[in-house]
Amino acid sequence: MIAGQQVSVQSARAIVGRLEERVAPLTAAGFLRLDEDDLKAIGFSRPKMRYGRLLAEEIVSGRLDIDGLAGMEDAAAIAALTRVKGIGPWTAEIYLLFALGRPDVWPVDDLALCVAVQHLKALEARPDRKAMLTLGEPWRPFRSAAARFLWHLYRHPGVALGDPEPVDIQSIDGPRHGPAEGVPVSRLVVFLHGLGADGNDLISLAPLLSPLLPGTAFVSPHAPFPCDMAPMGRQWFSLQDFSPAAMHAGAVAAAPILNAFLDAELARHGLQDRQLALIGFSQGTMMALHVALRRARPCALVVGFSGALVRPELLAEEVVSRPPVILAHGDADPVVPFAAMAGAESALKVNAVPVHTLARPGLGHGIDQEGLEFAAAALRQYLMAEEPPEARGGSNA
């Protein structure tokens, strides 16, 4: 982060790349072995040389336990970092957000973030520090995710922020896969993509799963609305307001569209809900859980990657169906906090919904091979079974 101060992202990456080539592996002790000419050739200015050396000396001396920061509360970690000359609150907050993956960091002194909030809220003037603190409150405890989405909005300032138009379910139809020609359709898997993507994002999983699920048709609809933060992408609901109440309202608004699509797909193939599985990623997981738990009849399975259960406290009053649910989440996810999986698991168990979870060490916001194998095994167990989900039961994990 010292290398990136007051230069473009591209320049910062080039500097770090040259540094890593010169000092491999890159360590504080290795950095201290570089002289002024070395650092100048790499791209360090004199102030950055000084601050870089001060930081490296703090680490080598043990006065700054860089590995110990992960075990500290946010305030303590920021205090430890800002004791080093050249590291201010902004740098410390950015380190917590990106390097440590903390879920609730709100760097109010970040210029791009302030500009994005001004655009999002249609403010006449750029918000000051006090206003930023107030405006960020509704996004607790996931302000880091809000900040990431807002930085994306900053890079796309021309995005329209109006209310969505009515949607025809045919307009959300997306790419399809399988089964093989001449093989009758006996099962259906519907992929639900995340914010800013479209149906093409997850359909690539279908060829990997189809050999294990003979007779299965795969479809990956495009979310109904243009994405606020990625003009070429789609969204199930807006994240202009990242509060739980707003996300729940968004899921409620999108649910009839998704339900109509699911009903049409089941009718198209002459199938029932028990022959349907939903696979969601990120915001798609939020939609899969919201819809599946409220449909009149339970589907065979819900698979959720890197997502969350929206407004879990409302589930007791709203749950109608209890299909088996499996959730996989990386513990290094910087977008949807890893803790969201535990929150969803707890709420599902309390409401007698069978749930199994898989934590993936070191994984960010994505799907890895272990997670895909976890999902494939569950699809084989639940989707390929003949009896309905409620007859199968199953232990929670």
Mean pLDDT of the chain: 87
- Cβ atoms of 277 and 383 within 8 Å: the answer is yes
Nearest to 210 by CA among 379, 381, 389, 387: 379
- Tokens 């199930």 appear where? 236
Does residue 264 lie within any of the structural domains?
A: yes
The pLDDT tens digits for 49-86 are 888 899 999 999 999 999 999 999 999 999 999 998 87
Residue 389 has pLDDT above 70, yes or no: no
- When pLDDT is cut at 50, 70 and 90, the band that residue 9 belongs to is low
Q: Is 51 exposed, middle or buried (0-12, 13-18, 19+ CB in 10 A)?
A: buried
Does residue 310 lie within any of the structural domains?
A: yes
- Cβ atoms of 291 and 267 within 8 Å: the answer is no
Does residue 376 lie within any of the structural domains?
A: yes
Range of the domain at 229: 169-392
Does residue 18 lie within any of the structural domains?
A: no
Does residue 328 lie within any of the structural domains?
A: yes
- When pLDDT is cut at 50, 70 and 90, the band that residue 232 belongs to is confident
Q: Which of the residues 110, 321, 333, 356 is marked catalytic? A: 333
Average pLDDT of span 89-94: 90
More confident position, 110 or 348 = 348
Does residue 68 lie within any of the structural domains?
A: no
Peptide bond into 103 cis (omega under 30): no
What's the rounded Cα separation, in Å, for the pair 323 and 297? 9
Please tell me the pTM assigned to this model: 0.61
- How far from 252 is each of 106, 107, 240, 248, 284, CA to CA, in Å? 28, 31, 16, 6, 13
Q: How many domains does the chain have?
A: 1
Strands (E), the chain: 176-177, 187-192, 216-219, 225-226, 234-235, 276-281, 301-305, 325-330, 355-360
| Edge-first strand listing for the sheet containing 355-360 | 176-177, 216-219, 187-192, 276-281, 301-305, 325-330, 355-360
Which is it for the CA torsion 310, 316, 319, 321, positive or negative?
A: positive
Does residue 60 lie within any of the structural domains?
A: no
365 a catalytic residue: yes
Q: Which of the residues 144, 282, 306, 321 is marked catalytic? A: 282
- Tokens 């390929």 appear where? 384
290 a catalytic residue: no
What's the rounded Cα separation, in Å, for the pair 50 and 384? 63
What is the pLDDT, as a whole number, of residue 211?
93
What's the rounded Cα separation, in Å, for the pair 198 and 115? 27
What's the rounded Cα separation, in Å, for the pair 71 and 75? 12
Residue 373 has pLDDT above 90, yes or no: yes
Q: Where are the alpha helices (DSSP H) in 137-272?
A: 143-155, 206-209, 244-269
Task: Give the range with max mean pLDDT: 245-249, 368-372, 393-397.
Answer: 368-372
Report which secondary-structure segment, H or E, holds 100: none
What's the rounded Cα separation, in Å, for the pair 212 and 40? 56
Residue 396 has pLDDT above 70, yes or no: no
The pLDDT tens digits for 291-310 are 999 999 999 999 999 999 99
The pLDDT tens digits for 120-145 are 888 888 899 999 999 999 888 889 98
Average pLDDT of span 372-387: 88
Please give the share of the chain, as a percent, with pLDDT higher than 90.
54
What is the pLDDT, as a whole number, of residue 155?
64
- Cβ atoms of 348 and 313 within 8 Å: the answer is no
The pLDDT tens digits for 148-196 are 888 877 665 554 444 444 555 667 889 999 888 889 999 999 999 999 8
What is the pLDDT, as a whole number, of residue 231?
64
Q: Which of the residues 119, 152, 222, 365 is marked catalytic? A: 365
What's the rounded Cα separation, in Å, for the pair 58 and 64? 5
- Tokens 């206003």 appear where? 131
More confident position, 30 or 241 = 30
The pLDDT tens digits for 15-39 are 888 888 888 888 999 999 999 999 8
Does residue 181 lie within any of the structural domains?
A: yes
- How far from 370 is each of 254, 342, 359, CA to CA, in Å? 31, 19, 10
CATH code: domain of residue 305: 3.40.50.1820
Residue 391 has pLDDT above 50, yes or no: no
Task: Give the range with max mean pLDDT: 93-102, 148-157, 224-233, 370-379.
Answer: 370-379
